[in-house]
Chains A and B, each alone.
Chain A
Amino acid sequence: GAGVSQSPSNKVTEKGKDVELRCDPISGHTALYWYRQSLGQGLEFLIYFQGNSAPDKSGLPSDRFSAERTGGSVSTLTIQRTQQEDSAVYLCASSLGGGGQSTGELFFGEGSRLTVL
């Protein structure tokens, strides 16, 4: 696609339910990032993929959060047993990846707004 695509754009769920957020990066981009942005807050790093592996998942807040990436492309962020404090905008970004001619410039999606009631 032309840009980073995220779905759903908005998700309202009840406390305790599981949610899946999807990110479709720019074709050919090997690096993929997930960030969380709570109301009025800055960017909170969650996880970084290089290809299908995640060299850095240090930002995942708890074991309720997990992410996977398949085929070096689409990524899914899963939040189990959602809590109200999980309410935030979840941003995905992709880049050509590190090394070589890549500068690491990130291209962001529009985000998925999650509201946990």
Chain B
Amino acid sequence: AQSVTQLGSHVSVSEGALVLLRCNYSSSVPPYLFWYVQYPNQGLQLLLKYTSAATLVKGINGFEAEFKKSETSFHLTKPSAHMSDAAEYFCAVSGGYQKVTFGTGTKLQVIP
């Protein structure tokens, strides 16, 4: 069995400030982890993924995430928020033959 917990359904940051979106997972097999982003009125697209290579993963638009096995975490960060980062972000886990499981999502608001 696997699950994902995203802390904070809504996060607000000032433009230029650090973005930190939290994701914790549980999995009975070595996990693959993903962050997807959904911009307003658009579909979901892959932001970045962890597939058991480097634990620090870099994605599009300056985002990165670090896989920490000891903490069962895969938090998403960006050093400096931009207005265009306003979107909903979903963390997901997969592994073995189990279906992909999504978290409940975090809406990021960027304040000018």
Q: Which residues of A contact B88 (CB under 8 A)?
A: 42
Q: Are A98 and B99 in contact (CB under 8 A)?
A: yes
Let me know if B105 and A42 touch, CB within 8 A. yes
Contact of A43 (CB < 8 Å), options: B49, B90, B96, B99: B90
B73 at the interface (CB under 8 A from A): no
Assess A55 versus B46: contact at CB under 8 Å? Given A42-B90, A43-B90: no
Contact among A42, A98, A105 with B46 in the assembled complex (CB-CB below 8 Å)? A105
Contacts A98-B94, A110-B43 given; indicate if A103 touches B49 (C-beta within 8 A): yes
Asked whether, in the complex, the Cβ of B44 is within 8 Å of the Cβ of A108, the reply is yes
Q: List 10 A-B contacts (CB under 8 A).
A: A43-B102, A43-B105, A98-B96, A98-B97, A103-B32, A104-B32, A106-B36, A108-B36, A109-B43, A111-B43
Q: Per-residue 0/1 for B80-112: is the Cβ within 8 Å of any A Cβ (1 yes, 0 no)?
A: 000000001010101111111010110000000
Q: Provide the residues of chain A in CB contact with B32, threshold 8 Å.
A: 103-105
Measured in the bound complex, the distance between the Cα atoms of B105 and A93 in whole Å is 17
Residues 32-44 of chain B: 1 if any A CB is under 8 Å from the residue's CB, otherwise 0?
Answer: 1010100000011
Chain B contact residues (Cβ within 8 angstroms of A): what range? 20 to 34
Which of B43, B49, B96, B104 is A42 in contact with, Cβ under 8 Å?
A: B104
| Closest B residue, CB atoms, query A104 | B94
B12 on the interface (CB 8 Å rule)? no
Q: Say whether A14 faces chain B, with CB atoms less than 8 Å apart.
A: no
> B96 touching A99 by the CB < 8 A rule?
yes
A51 vs B88: C-alpha distance when bound (angstroms): 30
Shortest distance between the CB of A19 and any CB in chain B (Å): 20
Write the chain A residue with the least CB distance to B90: A43
Q: Is the CB of A104 within 8 A of B105?
A: no
The answer to whether B98 touches A98, judged by C-beta atoms less than 8 angstroms apart, is yes
Residues of chain A with a CB closer than 8 A to B34's CB: 104-106
How far apart are the CA atoms of A110 and B98 in the complex, in Å? 24
| Residue B51 interfacial (CB < 8 Å) | yes
Docked complex Cα distance between A2 and B49 (Å)? 21
A65 adjacent to chain B (CB < 8 Å): no
Residues of B contacting A56 in the complex (Cβ-Cβ under 8 angstroms): 99
